Amino acid sequence: MLIAIPRHQELYKLNLNQFVLSVLEKCNHLNHLKQLQAFLLTLGHGQTQFFAFKLVRFCILSLSNLAYARFIFDHLKAPNVYLYAAMITAYASQPDHRSALLLYRDMIRRGRSQPNHFVYPLVLKCCSEVSETHGVKAVHTHILKSGFGGHPVVQTALVDSYSRAGSDIGIARQLFDEIVDRNVVSWTAMISGYTRLGQMGNAILLFEEMPERDVPSWNAVIAGCTQNGLFTESISLFRRMIEESEKPNQVTVVCALSACGHLGMLHVGRLIHGYVYRNGLGPNSFIANALVDMYGKCGNLREAKRAFDKASERGLTLWNSMINCLALHGQSESAISVFEEMREFGGVVRPDGVTFVGLLNACTHAGLVEQGCRYFKLMTQEYEIEPQIEHYGCAIDLLGRAGCFEEVMKVIRSMKIEPDEVVWGSLLNGCRIHGHMELAEFAVRRLLEIDPNNASYGVMLANIYGGLGNWEEARKVRKILKEQGLTKTPGCSWIEIDSQVHQFYSADKSHLQTEEIYKILQLLLGFH
């Protein structure tokens, strides 16, 4: 493309802005932009802020060429605040937070252009992302000096940044309370800060005080409940959201489905599935993954596979969910089959560490020792994935269950990271199966070094002694546990009745219908 220069120079000058914009609309290559830039330079507009801004923005948004945008920016003697904002926004979206912060520092040091309420929120977000609490405080100081401390957008950005720092949640709350014109965004920022720290009591209290709510504010508290293990509360809030005529979006649905999966609430999960399709929220990979995960955790593998097959796009997360849910329920051959299908997918999707955790678990459930070892080598050699603690735990569990204790110890000795409870626990479980007392005692010692107050390990050791008929040693272990006041964490089970989940712990009598439950148990056991 060559630029056509108008014949009437005076008319051209009057309409230069319009001319430049019309040429930019036709540009589809960097060379076209360079022609326009050269044309502006010949007219003496090389330092004109308006044209420089248009060129920089076009480079970033239309050509995705941040390097050349920075080249234009660096050749300006005194870039204005809008040019700085454009460049900082571009770096923040890359994300290249450090470059954004360095550019902000350059802006402050030059002193020719001062940040405004557009620049400060961008910089604060970058500070949060690189975990620079001192950076947030330094920017806060600049904000106060420049007079933007009372601007609602800047105040909300400060609340969000301090709350992300964790230890500064008190400062975040103080700043939130000082905002005169609080809007739904500032309320949501504070609630999200609490949820990130697991302070769900504060988050829910603040949520209830909100004068008005939007979908992101509902999402903040629902996601917070799900992420912090308050699954029943998450479902209750989801129901309440619909009752209050607020339409959930994909994020809401995914959080609710995740809560259903953790609780085993298949009935509610199906209702949400129906809601998804009635309201046009699916199918897509985001929703499909949540459905596969929910159905898989609830044990409905047929529906999980159906959701997987109907997905319009199959990303890595979806493949991993399908493999892991099959492995979780002992469908080892099916899990391996899905993995092989994934490999035959034309190399579009490359497995990661999560994929191999599912595969190794599948091999463990089926006792496929040789195949599991082959997949472990495939992971490290062909895909060059560095084994993490969970991979070592799976490998040791696989070998330990098969009684291959020499291989187990070889794996442990070859580990590049310190063995944790999962590793020693897997070894102890293998010793329990095969009655290998020497290694069992060794594993328990290591476990108690990591967590001295966990009685479960001692109980397992006592059970191993008992299983081998060594009642004297079993008695000694139980006596030590009793003297130290250590008790095993009780097991938990739950049941869904009429869309309500009831949880029960071992020897638990806290349920409102405990008396009736125990009467029925006595009848079932024949104690009339």
Q: Is 25 helix (H, G, I), strand (E, B) or coil?
A: helix
Q: What CA–CA distance (Å, rounded) separates 252 from 250?
A: 5
As a whole number of Å, the CA-based R_g of the chain is 31
Token output for 206 = 């603040």
Q: What CA–CA distance (Å, rounded) separates 159 from 141?
A: 14
In this predicted structure, what is the pLDDT of residue 6?
54
- The reply to whether the predicted model has a pTM over 0.75 is yes
In this predicted structure, what is the pLDDT of residue 184?
95
Q: Which of 258, 342, 333, 268 is nearest to 296 (CA)?
A: 258
In this predicted structure, what is the pLDDT of residue 10?
47
Cα distances from 430 to residues 6, 312, 369, 394, 398, in angstroms, run: 84, 42, 13, 12, 9
Q: What CA–CA distance (Å, rounded) separates 420 from 439?
A: 16
Domains, the chain, with CATH or none: 414-489 (1.25.40.10), 491-528 (no CATH)
Q: Rounded to a whole number, what is the distance in angstroms from the first to the last CA of the chain?
A: 95
Q: What CA–CA distance (Å, rounded) separates 515 from 492?
A: 19
Q: Are 187 and 204 in contact (CB under 8 A)?
A: no
SS (H, E, C) 222-282: HHHHHHCCCHHHHHHHHHHHHHCCCCCCHHHHHHHHHHHHHHCCHHHHHHHHHHHHHCCCC
DSSP, residue by residue, 334-383: HHHHHHHHHHTSTTSS---HHHHHHHHHHHHHHT-HHHHHHHHHIIIIIS
Q: Which of 287, 383, 400, 384 is nearest to 339 (CA)?
A: 383
DSSP, residue by residue, 411-452: HHHH-SS---HHHHHHHHHHHHHHT-HHHHHHHHHHHHHH-T
Q: What CA–CA distance (Å, rounded) separates 331 from 324?
A: 10
Token output for 263 = 């609780």
Q: What CA–CA distance (Å, rounded) separates 289 from 322?
A: 8
In this predicted structure, what is the pLDDT of residue 170?
92
Q: Which of 433, 428, 392 is nearest to 413 (CA)?
A: 392
Residues 6+ apart with CB under 8 A from 242: 248, 275
Q: Which of 1, 7, 33, 9 is nearest to 20 (CA)?
A: 33
In this predicted structure, what is the pLDDT of residue 303?
95
Characterize 212-249 residue by residue with b for buried, 16 or more Cβ atoms within 10 angstroms of its Cβ, and e for exposed. ebebbbbbbbbbbbbbbebbbbbbebbeebeeeeeebe
Q: Is 314 helix (H, G, I), strand (E, B) or coil?
A: coil
Token output for 423 = 């590793």
Cα distances from 153 to residues 44, 213, 361, in angstroms, run: 38, 18, 48
What φ, ψ does residue 230 adopt, rounded to 5°?
-95, 70
Characterize 38-64 residue by residue with b for buried, 16 or more Cβ atoms within 10 angstroms of its Cβ, and e for exposed. eebeeeebbeebebbbbbbbbbbeebe
DSSP state of 123: H
Token output for 350 = 């490359």
DSSP state of 489: P
pLDDT digit string (tens) for the chain, length 528 residues: 555 555 545 445 547 888 888 888 888 889 888 988 898 898 888 888 999 999 999 999 888 899 999 999 999 998 999 999 999 999 988 889 889 999 999 898 887 788 888 899 999 988 877 765 678 888 999 999 989 988 999 999 999 999 887 668 999 999 999 998 899 999 999 999 999 999 999 999 999 999 999 999 999 999 999 999 999 999 999 999 999 989 999 999 999 999 999 998 999 999 999 998 888 886 678 899 999 999 999 999 999 999 999 888 888 999 999 999 999 899 999 999 999 999 887 667 899 999 999 999 999 989 999 999 999 999 999 999 999 999 999 999 999 999 999 999 999 999 989 998 889 888 988 988 888 888 888 888 788 778 776 677 677 777 777 776 778 777 876 776 666 665 555 556 666 666 566 767 666 677 777 888 887 877 777 654
What φ, ψ does residue 182 adopt, rounded to 5°?
-75, 130
Residue entry with tokens 């020719």:
112
